[in-house]
Structure 1
């Protein structure tokens, strides 16, 4: 990994603000440790947290490298089509999770998404899902860790490897101390720090470029006026046909990748499962959807502005994303360098560190839960005392952090980190969603179909990625005219379709589970009373009504910024 040549002119005020923030982070871990007495406390916060806390943590857990650096990079590279990752590729799936799927997760009292797979399909699908999920988390944790290390390198000038180890130790400390509670309360803190950091940067950037009219004029003058419209989004998909671009966005991103990520990814679901009751668990993703739909204005918009007002970046874009000493991943850092005075710079640096720690902590806390419950307890050591699994979870946290230091090496190969992340989601989330949704609504689907569909879908995504131009970096052979995030969309679609087809075929030649064993796991076999949750005192507490309001808001945003 190469060290960045970019340096931020931080003063003692900025360093003081950063030090205060890190002190808060570690103190939360120390306080949270006092409430950890069982493995359920360590891995799921004792299922005791209010909806507003788990709702903000639900969003903050995702507000890591994927959002901050990846989305700002995509904003600089692709423009407004990047908004689809939120309004098409997140909100609908989050609402579906809340209204349809959370009753099954929370009502069944499973401790993880793979454990739900164990009850529905048996050990074959469970083991495949557990292993693939664990691999995905250390790979994605490596992304967050790499980007956190680049911030430390940029501010302090420390070598990337040293910065990586220091960043890893901080995250490791508070998760090992306080488990999921420490991660969640830090994520809530980090959410507010991130907003406080990015809002002033966005305002100053807009003022610098001359407002929306100024940005429009500069992008048009640079020949990028097509990036000022979100549809048909050909810059995002890299499909020449506008029709196929829309299909790719709606099916590949809006359905397969989005639903695969938000409804089955235990990193997110774990936060909602820590809620105090069924309705709180259902409201958590909906509460998170409201800030989620406005986050593009403080992440993507600054990236678009950076591409026209930062000389190095505008030159890099004019050269087709080649040459120079910067990449699209540097967009926010370059804006911070050019626009923020000392003091605000310290807040912004702390905000970026907060985002990357939130993302990595979410990956690590989900990893240690699956490793402890779904792999170690289920297949290796079944009948140990409860404190044994809590201790194992802490050691799993250490192991995952060490592995993440290694996987962070891969992240540095991509000038736009979103290309790498979407490729990973296509491998791991798309086939899981296909198996999940088919098994939840089709009672005849068999255990054999569950694990064979997962394996076949993952291999299909891998096959498409290898044949594409750049989805796997040097490992791609370029036989298919697919590149960038369009390749990830096609790979995800292939994984979904192949998984469904193989599952249907295998079901015809294998035996289904008894219907009595599928209550609470299959929609048609579960009494509606089991899914309803507790009565609510006020209309705004109704998950369905709250989800309806969120859906209306996101439709309005899609129309305004089409």
Structure 2
């Protein structure tokens, strides 16, 4: 097999090769332990609790923005338009909520994982069920999506067969993240986010300039508005063919809140970065930094898809928009943008693999094998990460090969389970009377009710379904917990105890400093301005 050149250009291929060598070198450099010291579980899974705010914020975005985000959301931008940016813009205000109300509780509990939090708050049953669920979703939904869409991009741009593209991504993720753990992932994420944002903005800039026929970005944007005005509706009307995906005003007041709170607040893959911060204030500053970066993301992940409607109107599949647009870029810049895309893919792969390793090792393996050394658990984590990547690579084509908009597939699938997860986590934080049985009822009811509504009310938009199931699960969990409260049961079972060996109590303070408060207000005002402009 001949060595593929990116877009047939040696310059582009050299740019990507230099980036890959640089990435791996930096990852190994920051992963080295001084004096031959071996990594312990805190080093490997939580970066030794040493991440500064800028690394926390950058890593949150790098973990979030990957192939399914760039390729998938650009595809949805091509098919739906700017309305899909609600996932990005509403995530910004969700991050502020997470920083103010959720993170203080998690850090006061000194947890490694979200299942560990659920065990402390409820019991071992809740922890085990949710740990197994999250592992399944991470391997068979998230990892498969990242690998498949990443390989699809490599195939479109460089002509590499899909299977070889996935092998390349697996090898690169293993080379840069498996040894170093979260520290290697988070610190290299800073570099990757800079490259990602710069490359994405360059792509959008050139695409708009092409639409304006060389008369500048402003002209190109105005032409785009004139030629594709339907793509700039933030709130879709009922007669819009994509109303089922983004059902009008429900996007602002309904189920998308549930999806966002689940993803940004209770998702190990994301929250692990904040748990690794030096302290609570550093974690909160990192979350604010990430919130402002999220406001910028539609320029990088949605606008290119809308621009492709004018530049490439006859694409066979919506998810081809971003890769096909890259092929219009000049030599050199195409390599830079491709390197940025690779950066997004491998950073998300590394983050996901580390989270899988953390949950498997700390929540499942260590519970059954409690007497092993720290080095042993780190080794088990590395093995778990390797197995997860290989499983995802094998399952990627069968699971995702037939979907036109992979991003929407991911949202719909996870929407079956997130209502129950959000219910049991919110009640666990804010309602001391919530019981383990109430949490289990919420988790089981979420999947059952979602399936029933999916087949008995198929015209109900999935975001509305998520909101409705959330309300039902909330009611069931509250009723179950209250019934237990009146039964013959030890009242102490309802109220979580402080962590042994520390003075951390359940009533973690929610007060935030003035900088955080002003930054949060700024996010709200910017969101109001954006929605007022594109309503």
- Per the normalisation by structure 1, the TM-score is 0.85
Aligned to 1:331: 321
Shift of 1:8: 6.0
Residues 1:497 and 2:465 aligned together:
no
Residues 1:120 and 2:121 aligned together:
yes
Name structure 2 gaps, 5 residues minimum: 213-219
Residues 1:459 and 2:448 aligned together:
yes
Provide the C-alpha distance between the structure 2 equivalents of 1:332 and 1:250, rounded to a whole number of angstroms: 30
The farther-off stretch of 293-302 and 500-509 is 500-509
Q: 1:37 aligns with which of 33, 39, 52?
A: 39
Shift of 1:298: 2.2
Shift of 1:386: 1.3
CA-to-partner distance for each residue in 1:515-550, whole Å, 9 max, x for gaps? Answer: 6634589xxx8446x5558xx7xx53xx33322222
Provide the C-alpha distance between the structure 1 equivalents of 2:495 and 2:433, rounded to a whole number of angstroms: 13
Aligned to 1:76: 78
Residues 1:18 and 2:22 aligned together:
no
Aligned to 1:214: 223
Aligned to 2:216: none
C-alpha RMSD of the superposition: 2.3
Aligned to 1:416: 405
Q: Size of the alignment, in residue pairs?
A: 508
Any idea what SS the aligned residue of 2:496 has?
Answer: helix
Any idea what SS the aligned residue of 1:509 has?
Answer: helix
Tell whether the 8 Å contact from 2:496 to 2:506 is kept in structure 1 after alignment. Answer: no
Shift of 1:33: 2.8
5 Å-filtered alignment, 1:59-458, equals: 59-88=61-90, 90-138=91-139, 139-210=141-212, 211-219=220-228, 225-232=229-236, 234=238, 235=240, 238-239=243-244, 245-253=248-256, 255-313=257-315, 326-338=316-328, 340-378=329-367, 380-409=368-397, 410-458=399-447
5 Å-filtered alignment, 1:474-553, equals: 480-482=458-460, 486-487=461-462, 489-510=463-484, 511=489, 513-514=492-493, 517-519=496-498, 526-527=506-507, 530-532=509-511, 539-540=514-515, 543-553=516-526
Name structure 1 gaps, 5 residues minimum: 1-6, 220-224, 314-325, 469-478
Q: 1:32 to 1:455 in 2, by over 3 A?
A: farther
Provide the C-alpha distance between the structure 2 equivalents of 1:105 and 1:498, rounded to a whole number of angstroms: 26
CA-to-partner distance for each residue in 1:483-540, whole Å, 9 max, x for gaps? Answer: xxx33x134224422321221232133345446634589xxx8446x5558xx7xx53
Any idea what SS the aligned residue of 2:415 has?
Answer: helix
Tell whether the 8 Å contact from 2:138 to 2:352 is kept in structure 1 after alignment. Answer: yes
The farther-off stretch of 70-79 and 356-365 is 356-365
CA-to-partner distance for each residue in 1:330-374, whole Å, 9 max, x for gaps? Answer: 111111112x11000100111111111122222111111000001
Provide the C-alpha distance between the structure 1 equivalents of 2:8 and 2:283, rounded to a whole number of angstroms: 41
CA-to-partner distance for each residue in 1:285-344, whole Å, 9 max, x for gaps? Answer: 11101111011012211110101221423xxxxxxxxxxxx3111111111112x11000
Q: 1:404 to 1:11 in 2, by over 3 A?
A: same
Provide the C-alpha distance between the structure 1 equivalents of 2:475 and 2:151, rounded to a whole number of angstroms: 43
CA-to-partner distance for each residue in 1:168-213, whole Å, 9 max, x for gaps? Answer: 1110222211001111122222111111211121111112223222
The farther-off stretch of 547-556 and 129-138 is 547-556
Q: 1:174 to 1:188 in 2, by over 3 A?
A: same
Tell whether the 8 Å contact from 1:99 to 1:544 is kept in structure 2 after alignment. Answer: no
Tell whether the 8 Å contact from 2:105 to 2:506 is kept in structure 1 after alignment. Answer: no
Provide the C-alpha distance between the structure 1 equivalents of 2:479 and 2:523, rounded to a whole number of angstroms: 38
Aligned to 2:217: none
CA-to-partner distance for each residue in 1:114-172, whole Å, 9 max, x for gaps? Answer: 11111001111111111111111112011001112122323432321122122111102
Any idea what SS the aligned residue of 1:341 has?
Answer: coil
CA-to-partner distance for each residue in 1:423-462, whole Å, 9 max, x for gaps? Answer: 2321343321111112221111111111221122123224
Tell whether the 8 Å contact from 1:461 to 1:491 is kept in structure 2 after alignment. Answer: yes
Provide the C-alpha distance between the structure 1 equivalents of 2:84 and 2:157, rounded to a whole number of angstroms: 28
Tell whether the 8 Å contact from 2:55 to 2:189 is kept in structure 1 after alignment. Answer: no
Tell whether the 8 Å contact from 1:431 to 1:454 is kept in structure 2 after alignment. Answer: yes
Tell whether the 8 Å contact from 1:446 to 1:513 is kept in structure 2 after alignment. Answer: no
Tell whether the 8 Å contact from 1:44 to 1:270 is kept in structure 2 after alignment. Answer: yes
Provide the C-alpha distance between the structure 2 equivalents of 1:261 and 1:508, rounded to a whole number of angstroms: 28
Provide the C-alpha distance between the structure 2 equivalents of 1:505 and 1:164, rounded to a whole number of angstroms: 47
CA-to-partner distance for each residue in 1:271-296, whole Å, 9 max, x for gaps? Answer: 11111011011222111011110110
- Per the normalisation by structure 2, the TM-score is 0.89
Q: 1:462 to 1:184 in 2, by over 3 A?
A: farther
Provide the C-alpha distance between the structure 1 equivalents of 2:117 and 2:431, rounded to a whole number of angstroms: 15
Tell whether the 8 Å contact from 1:8 to 1:337 is kept in structure 2 after alignment. Answer: no
Any idea what SS the aligned residue of 2:404 has?
Answer: coil
Shift of 1:79: 0.9
Shift of 1:257: 1.0
Shift of 1:419: 1.5
